[in-house]
Amino acid sequence: MVLEIDSSRGEGGGQMVRTSVALATLTGKTTRLTRIRENRPTNGLSKQHITAVDAVARMTGSTVTGNTLGSSELLIEPGHEQNTNLVLDIGSAGAVSLVMQATMLAARNYTVPFRIDITGGTNVMWAPPIDSYSMVLFPLMKKMGIDAKVDILERGFYPIGGGRVVLEVQPIGKIKPLVLDKLGRLERVRGLCFMQHLSDRVGQEMMESCRRAFEGKYDIEIDYQRSEGMSRGAGMVLTAEYENGILSSNVLSSKGHSAQQSGLDAASDLLQEMSSGSTVDIHTADQLLPYLAMAEGRSEFIVSRISKHLLSQMDTLESFLDVRFGVERKDDGYHFTVTPGEHE
């Protein structure tokens, strides 16, 4: 029996492809994806999607049909291997973090450590910055018993890319639920400003405008990092670290958007999350959701708004797993519950 997934539903982008391919291998369900990215300006699979699908296939010994540039259909016939030490090159500034999403999820059942060396874009638009994994996602996953780390060997910015990271994931085993109904006390607010082949003035202006936005509200410590590489760019990741959880924001420099404005945008986004009642920020919620759906018990979290990515992720997970999602609108945000059942 083949599980049919209409990939134009919900957010209708690459996330549904990455999650579906990984879950097909985890659950052993032969899966056909149709109408891939049908509602996007460029339809079908891009280089980063192809790399992610190929990686999952190589990891698990799965057979994939249709994994070509622009393809609107994929057939995944799951394998049962546990291959490690993969080396991948997206071949563009395609997002390394998005490829990692698929490979980390596909490694969920591994009984041996998994290591992958990926070349591509580490800090690009429309994708989580690689820094948010080590600063936000991985610490939250650690609370669930998942041990993952990423080393940034070189940064890659659009359009050149050329960044390189090494991801390591230890065998996962049982996943603990995450109950984030309250953040608890604020422990610190910090940031990382990174810069490659641009004037130090850009970084200084970004940090100064960020600090000004926090003046009189919270103390903030910002680390400054200059790096060497093929591409050039700058950006910032901010975190508010609480007793029970972490909120974050991020920004990239871009033409027509001053360094001062970039720093202010990052600060404003984090301050808004901190005052909203959220316990998980909107960028992190959909990335955590697959692991919450496979946890040994009920999880809870609060988001300030429901993104299309989050809705799409819920839809995809319900197609593969025995899991129930609940959501209730309250004054301090949208309260989510994730209740896994007996996984098929």
List the chain domain ranges: 3-179+280-340, 186-276
Per annotation, catalytic residue among 80, 257, 309, 335: 309
Could you tell me the fold of the domain covering 3-179+280-340?
Answer: UDP-n-acetylglucosamine1-carboxyvinyl-transferase; Chain (3.65.10)
Three-state SS sequence of the chain:
CCEEEECCCCCCCHHHHHHHHHHHHHHCCCEEEECCCCCCCCCCCCHHHHHHHHHHHHHHCCEEECCCCCCCCEEEECCCCCCCCEEEECCCCCEHHHHHHHHHHHCCCCCCCEEEEEEEECECCCCCCHHHHHHHHHHHHHHCCCCEEEEEEECCECCCECEEEEEEECCCCCCCCCECCCCCCEEEEEEEEEEECCCHHHHHHHHHHHHHHHCCCCCCEEEEEEECCCCCEEEEEEEEEECCCEEEEEEECECCECHHHHHHHHHHHHHHHHHHCCCCCHHHHHHHHHHHHCCCCCEEEEECCCCHHHHHHHHHHHHHCCEEEEEEEECCEEEEEEEECCCC
Task: List per-residue pLDDT tens for the chain, 344 residues long.
Answer: 899 999 887 666 788 999 999 999 999 999 999 999 887 777 889 888 999 999 999 999 999 999 999 999 999 999 999 999 999 999 888 999 999 999 999 999 999 999 999 999 999 998 999 999 999 999 999 999 999 999 999 999 999 999 999 999 999 999 999 999 999 999 999 999 999 999 999 999 999 999 999 999 999 999 999 999 899 999 999 999 999 999 999 999 888 789 999 999 999 999 999 999 999 998 899 999 999 999 999 999 999 999 888 998 999 999 999 999 999 999 889 999 999 985 44
- Quote the pLDDT of residue 342: 52
Q: Model-level pTM?
A: 0.94
- Quote the pLDDT of residue 41: 76
- Quote the pLDDT of residue 40: 76
Token reading at 143: 């609370």
- Quote the pLDDT of residue 38: 81
Q: Is 309 tagged catalytic?
A: yes
The CATH number of the structural domain formed by 186-276 is 3.30.360.20
